[in-house]
């Protein structure tokens, strides 16, 4: 790219339009990864109730068993950086329009924040507890029904009513606003709403995001705040004035972050995607697992969800498996270029 020097140069810079993070403040802050690269999250497994046995002696409450747990491993992977210089001579020849602090802000707003948001949306969709397919692109005739399906899925998963966020593009938002299905759509404009939120649908806070932020085949994403994480371990940016080897300012920044869906609360994340973008579920029968050609399969033997469990393993074709006592083999498949399949059991 050129460094433009001119005898007559405006003392104003034409910045591109930017937006603040669409995700910040809408994720859980329960887990702290400070001091570690990998965090293991333990989810206790409760037991079913039994009838009290008055004549059962020491087993009146049932057979005693140690409480088990499921482990999900969260590993930080996104370690990003940037650096650039503002030469003192070039800046003088450009009417001092490149103030270092302003240029740092520009870099963060134009590159760092959008990149982190886009990554998080991809992760939330890929790790969603429910990835539903739509046979056709939603229209104003059925968009509300599809959003209602998402709301119902969260209800059935016992997800709390508060802190539900519906992320959708302006195209989908327009369909909501013009839908004949939703007579009360004007509530979108009347609500007293927080920054970055543009109304409510079925009690879910609507967050309108640019088309480029959601993955290409995703129509909308619903996520409960407590079901998703986006920890930042490093959010560092600095300006060095006249460091060794530079006559001017040296700008540096580093961002160390990641995004996850908590397996224990995966029912709080729902994505609606285009048809034929979700992998077919594998078949579990007679201790073996089969899936479509070229699909990778991961499974568990302890009854835990293989999409999140630390005990999940890669399946080798034709291997005979035996589930742990009282458990089923659970498996999911991922085909190249597609989202993970639903979990199958057998």
Query: What is the β-pairing status of strands 269-274 and 130-134?
Result: parallel
Average pLDDT over residues 36-40: 77
Architecture of the 130-229+263-274 domain: 2-Layer Sandwich (3.30)
**What does the pLDDT read at residue 17?**
52
As a whole number of angstroms, the distance between CA 242 and CA 316 comes to 58
As a whole number of angstroms, the distance between CA 259 and CA 22 comes to 14
Residue 119's alpha-carbon distances to 77, 97, 237, in angstroms, are 11, 32, 20
Specify the range with the lowest mean pLDDT, choosing from 76-80, 237-241, 327-331, 336-340.
237-241
**What does the pLDDT read at residue 120?**
96
Residue-wise pLDDT tens digits, 40-66: 888 888 888 999 999 888 888 988 888
Residue-wise pLDDT tens digits, 244-262: 888 888 888 888 889 999 9
289 near 301, Cβ under 8 Å?
Answer: no
Average pLDDT over residues 74-78: 89
**Residue whose C-alpha is closest to residue 226's, from 276, 192, 260:** 260
- 124: pLDDT confidence band, cut at 50, 70 and 90? very high
Q: What are phi and psi of 288, to 5 degrees?
A: -120, 160
**What does the pLDDT read at residue 34?**
63
Kindly list the domain boundaries of the chain, sorted by start residue.
Answer: 78-119+231-260, 130-229+263-274
**What does the pLDDT read at residue 164?**
96
Average pLDDT in the chain = 85
| 153 token code pair | 């899925």
Average pLDDT over residues 313-332: 94
Q: What percent of the chain has pLDDT over 70?
A: 86
pLDDT score of 145 more than 70: yes
Residue 44's alpha-carbon distances to 108, 132, 299, in angstroms, are 40, 28, 20
272 burial type by CB count under 10 A (0-12 exposed, 13-18 middle, 19+ buried): buried
Residue-wise pLDDT tens digits, 304-313: 999 999 999 9
- 337: pLDDT confidence band, cut at 50, 70 and 90? very high
Residue-wise pLDDT tens digits, 260-295: 999 999 999 999 999 999 999 999 999 999 998 889
pLDDT score of 298 more than 80: yes
C-alpha torsion sign, points 16, 20, 23, 29: positive
SS3 content of the chain, % helix, strand, coil (to 5): 20, 30, 50
**What does the pLDDT read at residue 282?**
96
**What does the pLDDT read at residue 91?**
64
Bridge partners of 130? 270
User: Quick check: helix, strand or coil at residue 288?
Assistant: strand
């Amino acid at each position: 790219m050129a460094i433009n020097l001119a005898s007559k140069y405006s003392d104003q810079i034409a910045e591109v339009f930017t937006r603040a993070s669409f995700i910040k403040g809408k994720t859980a802050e329960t887990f702290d990864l400070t001091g570690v690269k990998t965090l293991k999250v333990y989810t206790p497994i409760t037991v079913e109730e039994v009838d009290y046995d008055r004549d059962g002696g020491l087993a009146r409450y049932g057979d005693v068993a140690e409480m088990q747990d499921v482990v999900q491993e969260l590993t930080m992977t996104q370690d990003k950086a940037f650096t650039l210089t503002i030469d003192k001579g070039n800046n003088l020849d450009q009417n001092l329009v490149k103030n270092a602090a302003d240029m740092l802000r520009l870099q963060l707003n134009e590159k760092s924040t959008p990149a982190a948001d886009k990554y998080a949306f991809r992760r939330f969709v890929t790790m969603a507890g429910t990835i539903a397919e739509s046979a056709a692109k939603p229209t104003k005739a059925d968009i509300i029904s599809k959003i209602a399906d998402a709301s119902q899925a969260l209800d059935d998963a016992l997800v709390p009513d508060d802190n539900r966020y519906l992320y959708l593009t302006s195209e989908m938002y327009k369909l909501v606003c013009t839908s004949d299905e939703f007579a009360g759509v004007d509530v979108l404009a009347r609500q007293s709403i927080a920054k970055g939120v543009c109304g409510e649908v079925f009690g879910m806070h609507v967050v309108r995001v640019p088309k480029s932020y959601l993955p290409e085949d995703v129509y909308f994403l619903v996520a409960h705040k407590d079901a998703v994480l986006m920890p930042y371990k490093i959010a560092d940016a600095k300006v060095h004035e006249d460091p060794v080897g530079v006559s001017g300012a040296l700008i540096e920044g580093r961002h160390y972050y990641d995004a996850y869906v908590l397996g224990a609360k995966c029912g709080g994340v729902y994505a609606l995607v285009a048809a034929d973008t979700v992998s077919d579920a594998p078949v579990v029968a007679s201790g073996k697992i089969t899936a479509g050609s070229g699909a990778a399969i991961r499974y568990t033997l302890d009854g835990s969800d293989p999409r999140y469990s630390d005990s999940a393993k890669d399946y080798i074709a034709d291997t005979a498996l035996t589930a742990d006592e009282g458990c089923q083999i659970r498996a999911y498949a991922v085909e190249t270029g597609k989202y993970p399949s639903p979990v199958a059991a057998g």
